Amino acid sequence: MPEGKIIKALSGFYYVYDEGRVIQCRGRGVFRKQKITPLVGDNVVYQAENDLEGYILDIETRKNELVRPPIANVDQAILVFSASQPDFSPLLLNRFLVLVEYKQIEPVILISKADLLDEQSLEEIEQYVAFYEQVGYPVLVTSAITNEGTSKLLQYVNEKVSVIAGQSGVGKSSLLNVLKPDLQLKTNEISKSLGRGKHTTRHVELIELEEGWVADTPGFSSLEFQDIEVEELSDCFPEMRERSIDCKFRGCTHVAEPKCAVKEAVENNEIPAFRYEHYKEFLQEIRDRKPRY
C-alpha cells in the first residue's frame, strides 16, 4: 500500500502528499470508533481510489503531537517575536519555549521587524540575543522588508517539519511570503488601537519549503501549562536542567532550598536573572493550578 504525509486537513478531508502528488482522502470509519483523529504531519498508509482520491488506512506512530495547533511529528518550532510593533516580549517567549521544550521539539528563535528599530532599541534586542544564545538557542534577527536573515532561516527548515508560532501580528505570514513568494499568504496590518494583529491563518497546512515542510498555523491558542508538573518545569529550562544535578537536594525546585546550584548560577550571572524570574512565575502558576480529577 502507498504511504504519504498529511499536509492539510479541511472539512473532513485529508490531503496526503506522496512523491509530488496530493491525494484527497477520507479517514476510515475505524478511526472514529477508536476516537483517533488524523493530524496534519501524520505519516499514513492510504489506498487510492483513483489519481485524486482515496482512503487513509493506517496512521504510523507519532513522535510527538500538539493539540493547539493540531499537528504531529514536528521537528522544530520557529518562534517568531517582533522587535517592535508589538514590542518584544521575553516573558511570552519564555512561555513558548517551555511549552516547546516540554514536547521535546527543537526551538529556533526568530526576532522579526528588525528594520523598525532605532540604535538604542537594537542594542537592547542584541542583549536578549546574547542571553538566549548563551542558553544554547539559535537566534535569527530578520526583516521581511530588507530580507535580513531570511537566507539563514532557509538553512534551518531544510529536511525538517517546522511549526511557525508566535504572537499574532509579528510577521509570520509576511516572513513565509518572503521565503516563498508564490504563497501570497494573507496578511493584516496591526490594529493600532489593540497593538496586535488580527488572526489571518484559519487552518493548519504544511507548505513545502526547500527540502522540508513548514506549517503555517493559527498559532498556540492555549499557552497554559496544563500538563507540566512542578518537578518537570526546570527541565524545560536547559540552563537549569544541566545545573540541577549539582543541587544538594534531589527534586530541588530552585526557590527555597539551600545549596542550590541553579540559584548560585543566577547570583553569578551565569543564568540570566529575567529567565529565573519567569521560571518562578511559571512555577507559582503551576502550583496555583486547579487540580484535575
Q: What is the pLDDT of residue 202?
A: 56
Please check the confidence at residue 272 and state whether its pLDDT lies above 80. Answer: yes
Contact 78, 158 (CB under 8 A): no
Rounded Cα–Cα distance for residues 45 and 58 (Å) = 5
Rounded Cα–Cα distance for residues 40 and 206 (Å) = 7
% of the chain at pLDDT higher than 70: 83
- For residue 130, count CB atoms less than 10 angstroms from its CB and return exposed for 0-12, middle for 13-18, buried for 19 or more: exposed
Please check the confidence at residue 145 and state whether its pLDDT lies above 50. Answer: yes
Confidence of residue 261 (pLDDT cuts 50, 70, 90): very high
Q: What is the pLDDT of residue 67?
A: 79
Rounded Cα–Cα distance for residues 13 and 60 (Å) = 18
SS3 state of residue 4 = strand
Rounded Cα–Cα distance for residues 191 and 198 (Å) = 7
- For residue 146, count CB atoms less than 10 angstroms from its CB and return exposed for 0-12, middle for 13-18, buried for 19 or more: exposed
Bridge partners (DSSP) listed for residue 90: none
Annotated domain spans of the chain: 3-61, 71-216, 230-287
Q: Which CATH superfamily is domain 3-61 in?
A: Nucleic acid-binding proteins (2.40.50.140)
DSSP annotation of 29 reads: H
Residue type, 215: A
Q: Which three cell numbers stand for residue 20?
A: 509530488
Q: What is the pLDDT of residue 220?
A: 60
Q: What is the mean pLDDT of the chain?
A: 84
**Reported CATH class of domain 71-216:** alpha beta
SS3 state of residue 214 = strand
Does domain 230-287 match CATH 1.10.40.50?
yes
Tens digit of pLDDT for each residue in 149-190? Answer: 667 888 888 889 998 887 666 556 666 776 777 665 554 443
Tens digit of pLDDT for each residue in 222-241? Answer: 677 888 999 999 999 999 99
Q: What is the pLDDT of residue 215?
A: 83
Tens digit of pLDDT for each residue in 67-99? Answer: 777 899 999 998 988 888 888 899 999 999 999
